[in-house]
Amino acid sequence: MGSPISPGAAGDRELWLRAGDGDTAAFGELFGRHASAVYNHLFRRVADWSEAEDLTSAVFLQAWRTRGRVVIDRESALPWLLGVANHVLRNHRRASRRYRDALSRIVPAEEAAGDHADAVAAAVDSERLMATVRHALMQLPRHEREVVELCMWSSRPEGGGRCRTAVTRQ
């Protein structure tokens, strides 16, 4: 679980009181005693050594920040530290979930994970086809080219009927 307490060494409660008064060495000793137990607890919960290390750091940062306000009522600080670890883990998971939810609202999962190669290839093919069509249109007389440009490529659905009329009249 951590470093064994040697006979005559200060207990966790005493170290915690000294840390609360600003004794960094006392806090360091508490860290040495309990960091591996906190890390192992978190590793079993997240199954990722790097994430467990980050969370363990956050636990001891929280302990350092609250050292003057929290009273350890047992001889061991470990139960309190494991409670802090559970709280830090819940907050971390909640923040991760909010981040993923926000990201999914910005970029849908299909787009984020999709392969853009097909879309790029389609755009390139479309540009090549348009260049070929444009070259062919340039071969037409001006009035016929204008009919195609204005009517056949018109986005208005009624354009097609008028084009047939315009072509047959000429």
pLDDT of residue 146: 76
The domains of the chain are located at: 12-111, 118-169
Please work out, in degrees rounded to the nearest 5, the angle formed at the alpha carbon of residue 94 by the alpha carbons of 71 and 80: 20
- Residues 67, 61: Cα–Cα separation, whole Å: 10
- CA distances (Å), 123 to each of 130, 131, 148, in order? 10, 12, 23
The CATH classification number of 12-111 equals 1.10.1740.10
| pTM for the predicted model, two decimal places | 0.59
- How many other CB atoms sit within 10 Å of the CB of residue 103? 12
- For the chain, residues with pLDDT lower than 50 are 1, 159, 165
